[in-house]
Structure formats: structure tokens, C-alpha cells
Amino acid sequence: MKIAENALPLPMYNPETIHNMKRIFSFGLSFLLVLSAFAADPAHVRVLSIGNSFSRDAFSYVPFLIEELAPGTKVDFCILYIGGCSLERHYQNMKSGEAAYEYDIFSSEVGRWTMERDVSLEKGVMQQDWDIIILQQQSARSRYYDTYQPYLNELLSYLGRVRPNATPAWLLTQAYGTGFRDLGDMPTDEMWARIDESSQRVMDETAVKILIPAGTAIQNARYTVLDRLGQAGHLVNDGFHLQEGIPPLIEGLVTTQVVLKHYGIDIDVQKSRLKITPEWRAERNTPQPNGQPEEASDDEYRIARQCAQWAIDNPWQLTVVEE
């Protein structure tokens, strides 16, 4: 065989070198297989909400949206509930240990909501090693930031001590529907704007790291044909609780996107095809239903998904599209 004049000489066969290369290759392959198995392992979503009926409005559909949009994800989602509960009362319950809560529980292993009564805040917080813990203010007080403190910071300090691995989140709740007596002389847009401003202060001035702009999505929807929904109109059943069906779905889509992003899972809420019927809701035993889901067209479901996306993209601003 003729070798070119400037060619490098062929390497000499060395059995030990070949053996070492095989060992390195074998180790590298094993390492890649471990990484692949780890990457393929589905996420385990562990979320606790400390709230009230607006928590049930926002989160009742979330486990099922997670299962639809991120198949294989394991979900543990729980709500510590007292009707009309404020940050001040949560703080008092934290100090007293009073077993005053209903405890809504969703686990993928069961596949539907269940509930325990007479649970303390401490028991709920210590039930699991939560990844996210969500707080919110009571609806009437949500527009007045001076009602948030010092209770919010005290609760965050407590959670930081007992659940240091949990990331605190904030639920920007919906404004009351137009005409509801507790609005007084305040227009619904002004109530939303005050909740929005207070929530911005929460994000800027406290240890909260995650914002769930569910109320912005609902206010967006009030500028669309979806405003017709609800026994009281304006997407509400009684003036302030969301009517079952599309309204909680809107808030659930926002929450699902925000929660899954925390786990590094990117979803497109526009791809959801979940439709809410009375039978669907009953089978899943969603907590505290407000009326029955109303029939809606495919186009109205599309608009609902768009309202959620607008809030995700612009949480501090309303998106009003002229029709």
C-alpha cells in the first residue's frame, strides 16, 4: 500500500487503549440512559391553595386541564377553604391552630375531588412537601392593599420556615360583576384595576414569586360575547362567584399555564379542547359548584381560551378587542 508523502502514520494497535475506550463508551452510554430515563419521568405537580370560595372558582378544573395538556403528569392539588376568608383570618388561624378549614383534595390516584372537614392550616401545609403555595385576599378587601398587611408577610414568613422549598404564589382574583350590590358606586373595571394595583405591590414588595392573573382573564372576557354567561350575567352566578362552565375554565387555563411553567413544561392553552357539561362536572365532584355549566358554542370556547392567553401575555392590562 502506498502512503502519501505527508500523511500521518497509522496508529499502532494497543489492546489496553481499546479496552479503556470501551469502558468510557459503556459509562457514557449508561449515563445517557440514566439522563433519558430522568427526562422521561413525568412531573409531579404539588400545589396548595390557602384561600376561600374564589380558590374553588379558579382551581377546580386545573387538575383535569393539567392531565389534558401535559399527559402523564401526576397531580396533587389541594385547597384549604373557609368561605369569605381574609388574609387576617388565615393569619389568626395560623397562630391559634384552629381546625376551621374544609380541605379539598385532588390526587391523580383517585381522579376526582374529595374533601375533609375540620382541618387546621398547619395540617394542610404539612400534608405534603408542596412545590407551590398560593395565597389571595378576600374579595371585598382585595381592592385595598392596606388590608393585606401585616398578615400577608406574616403568613409568608411562616411558610418560609416550615416549607422552605415551596414557592409562594399569588392569585389575582376576579372583580365583582356589574350590578352586584357590594360594588357600591365602584365600576367593575375600577375594582379590577385596584386588585391589579394591589397585586403588583404583592409582587414588588413581598416574597411572592409567582403571579396567577386569573381575574385579568375574567375581565378580558367581560368585553366579549362571553359576558352573556352566568345567571347574573357578566360570567357570574350570584354577582361574584363564577358560573360553572366557561368562566372557571378561563381561570383554570391561566392557572394551568402558570403552574406548569414552574415545572419547565410549556403548554399552549389554545390547544385545550375541554368542554364542561353537568355530567363532566358531577363525575369529577368539583367543589362548591355555582349553578350548572351553561351550553356554549365552539367559538365561545375559542374566545375563552383567547381571553386566558391575553391575561398570560399581559397580566397587568385588560385586552379589549373591538368586535
Structural domains present in the chain: 42-214+253-292 (3.40.50.1110)
State the number of CA atoms in the 13 A half-sphere of 304 facing the CB. Answer: 26
DSSP, collapsed to helix, strand or coil, labels residue 264 as coil
DSSP, collapsed to helix, strand or coil, labels residue 119 as strand
pLDDT at 31: 44
> Among positive and negative, which fits the CA dihedral 93, 98, 102, 105?
positive
* pLDDT mean values, one per 10 residues, the chain (323 residues): 39 49 46 40 91 98 98 98 98 98 98 98 98 98 98 98 98 97 96 98 98 98 98 97 98 98 98 98 96 97 98 97 68
> Are the beta carbons of 81 and 53 closer than 8 angstroms?
yes
> Are the beta carbons of 147 and 140 closer than 8 angstroms?
no
- Other residues' Cβ atoms within 10 Å of the Cβ of residue 74: 15
DSSP, collapsed to helix, strand or coil, labels residue 44 as strand
pLDDT at 321: 80
- Other residues' Cβ atoms within 10 Å of the Cβ of residue 9: 6
Q: What's the whole-model pTM score?
A: 0.87
> Are the beta carbons of 292 and 248 closer than 8 angstroms?
no
- Other residues' Cβ atoms within 10 Å of the Cβ of residue 288: 18
Bridge partners (DSSP) listed for residue 119? 101
Residue 53 belongs to what H/E stretch?
helix 53-59
> Are the beta carbons of 226 and 243 closer than 8 angstroms?
no
Structure-derived torsion over alpha carbons of residues 311, 312, 316, 317, reported in degrees to the nearest 10: -40
pLDDT at 263: 97
